[in-house]
Amino acid sequence: MSSKNHEGVWADCLKIIKDNVNHQSFKTWFEPIEPVKLEDDVLTIQVPSQFFYEWLEEHYVALLRKTIKRELGANARLEYRIVVENSSGSQTPTTIHYPNYNSGFNKNPEVAAPLIMGNTIKNPFVIPGLKKVNIESGLNPNYNFDSFIEGDCNRLCRSAGYAVAQKPGGTAFNPLVIYGGVGLGKTHLAQAIGNEVKQNFPNKTVLYTNAERFTNQFIESLKNNSVNDFVHFYQLIDVLIIDDIHFFSNKAKTQDIFFHIFNHLHQENKQIILTSDRPPRDLEGVEERLLSRFKWGLSADLQAPDFETRVAILEKKMYADGIELPDDVVEFVAYNITNNIRELEGALVSLLAQASLNRKQIDLDLAKKIVKNFVKNMSREVSIDFIQKAVCDYFEVPVEKLKEKTRKRAIVQARQLSMYLSKNFTKNSLKSIGKHFGGRDHSTVIHSCQAIQNLMDTDSKFKESVEDLTKKIQMSIS
C-alpha cells in the first residue's frame, strides 16, 4: 500500500462507498470530501464544516472504518481536517486525530464544542410599535407537503424539509439549502416547510420572500436611511425562507447585510431555508464567507422526476381538480415532458382548456397536439401496447396471453421479446414495463431481456425474427 498516494487511496475508497450508499447520499456526503495526505497508513481527509464531520461519524463511521481498513490494512486510521472560518472571513483547517478509531464513533473532547463560531450581533435598535404578529408570512397556503409528490428525485429534500418543519432551528439542517433546475418544486417545498411550521408552531414568525425582493427592500432602506430598522425586522423572524439566493450574485452590500442577519438568526437557533438554481459551491459572485455559511447545514438537490413520479404528479393534479383522463393520455404527457414539473402541469391545464373550449374529446391525438407546444422536435410515440400487438401478430399469439401466468414456450418467448423491445424503444422504467405484463416486477424484465439477448447470440433464425420486428417498429415511428 505504501506506493499509493492519498488521492489514489481515497478514489479507491469512493468506489467501494458508492456501491454501499444511494446516489443522493454519495453526492451529498462524500463528493465534497477532499483527500489531503497519507502518512503511515493514516489518511487525512478535509471536510467543509464541523456539522459535516459529525454527520459522517454518526451515520457512516462503520462504512468508513471498513473501507479504509480494506484499502490500507488493519492498522489504518482516518483523520479529519475541518475548514473553520474565523470572524474575519479567512479559513483555517483544523485537523482532528482519532488514535482510538477502531472503537468507532469517539469524539475528541477537544472539539466537543462547535468549532465554527461567529460574532454575536448586538442589536440596540427597536422599531416602535412593531409586533411580530403583524408580520405577514408571504406563504401560499396551497403549497404543502400533501401536494408535494415524493419520489426518488426529491426524497432527501422532502425528508429534510419535513424534519425541519417538525423542529425548526433544532436540527442539523440549518441552513437548509434546496437547489435544482427550473420548475422542479423548490418554491413549493420551501413554502410547504413554512406552512407546516405555522401549523405546528402558531407562535413562531415565518417569513417567505425572494432574494430580489430582499435586495430591493435593502436598497429602499438605504435611500430612507432606515437600514437599522430593516436589519431588526429580519432579526425578528423565527423561520426565514429566501427563494433564489443566486440573485445575490455580485451584490456586495446586499451580501454583507444578509451575512449579519444570517449570523444573528443562526446563533439564536432560528431556522434559515434557502433555495437556489445551483449548489452553493457553484454560486458565482458570492463572498466566500457567505458560501461557507450556506454549507453549515444541508444542501440537497431536487432532480428531474422519473416517469412514475411524473405520472403520480399528474394523477394528483387530476384528483384535486376532480377530473379523469385516459391512462394512455396521462402516460403520453408524462413520457414526453421530462424535465419540468411546471410544464407538466401546464400541459394538463392546456389539454383541459382545449377540450373544454373546442368541445373536443380528450384522447391521444389531442394530447400529441398539446404536447408539441411544450416539447421541441417531439418524436412519434411508440407504446408498450403497440409493441405487444406487433410481437403477437408476428408470432400469431393472443395479446391477452402475455399478461397471464402460462409457461407455454411460445407465450413466454413472445412475452420476453415484448419486454426486450419495450426496454429498447420506450423510456418506461423496468417497473412500468413489468406492470404492462400482468404486474410483473423489474427483475422479471431484466431476466427476459437477458434471455432474449442470449437466444439471439445462439439462434441466428430467431435473431432474424427480432431484427425483422425491430425494422417494422422503427418504420412505424419514422
* Contact yes or no for 193/164 (Cβ under 8 A): yes
* pLDDT tens string 117-131: 233 322 222 334 444
- Which of the listed residues 302, 329, 357 is the one where a domain comes to its end? 302
SS3 (DSSP) at 404: coil
* Contact yes or no for 218/251 (Cβ under 8 A): no
> How does residue 224 score in pLDDT terms, banded at 50, 70 and 90?
confident
Grid cell 417497473 is found at 431
Going from the C-alpha of 212 to that of each of 177, 248, 291, 417, the distances in angstroms are 17, 8, 18, 55
SS3 (DSSP) at 138: coil
The pTM (predicted TM-score) of the whole model is 0.52
Would residue 73 be called left, alpha or beta, if left means φ above 0 and alpha means ψ between -120 and 50 degrees?
A: left
The DSSP string of 180-248 is ESTTSSHHHHHHHHHHHHHHH-TTS-EEEEEHHHHHHHHHHHHHTT-HHHHHHHHHT-SEEEEE-GGGG
80 falls within a domain = yes
Q: How far apart are CA 471 and CA 32, in angstroms?
A: 47
Give the residue numbers spanning the domain of 80: 6-108
The verdict on 30 and 63 lying in the same domain is yes
Going from the C-alpha of 296 to that of each of 50, 117, 120, 248, 455, the distances in angstroms are 8, 11, 17, 18, 55
CATH of the domain at 273: 3.40.50.300
pLDDT tops 50 at residue 132: no
The verdict on 15 and 96 lying in the same domain is yes
* pLDDT tens string 297-347: 888 888 888 777 888 888 887 777 777 777 777 877 877 777 777 777 777
CATH of the domain at 448: 1.10.1750.10
330 falls within a domain = yes
∠ CA 244-248-254, nearest 5°, is 130
262 falls within a domain = yes
* pLDDT tens string 154-169: 888 889 999 999 999 9
* pLDDT tens string 243-262: 999 999 999 889 988 998 99
CATH of the domain at 358: 1.10.8.60
Q: How many domains does the chain have?
A: 4
The verdict on 195 and 208 lying in the same domain is yes
Nearest to 453 by CA among 420, 404, 419, 413: 420
Q: How far apart are CA 258 and CA 364, in angstroms?
A: 51
CATH of the domain at 57: 3.30.300.180
The verdict on 322 and 231 lying in the same domain is no
The verdict on 312 and 283 lying in the same domain is no
- Which of the listed residues 281, 302, 323 is the one where a domain comes to its end? 302
The verdict on 321 and 411 lying in the same domain is no
463 falls within a domain = yes
The verdict on 80 and 59 lying in the same domain is yes
Pairing status of strand 42-47 against strand 34-39: antiparallel
The verdict on 145 and 267 lying in the same domain is yes
116 falls within a domain = no
363 falls within a domain = yes
Q: How far apart are CA 261 and CA 97, in angstroms?
A: 34
The DSSP string of 350-366 is HHHHHHHHTT----HHH
Mean pLDDT of the chain: 79
The verdict on 35 and 103 lying in the same domain is yes
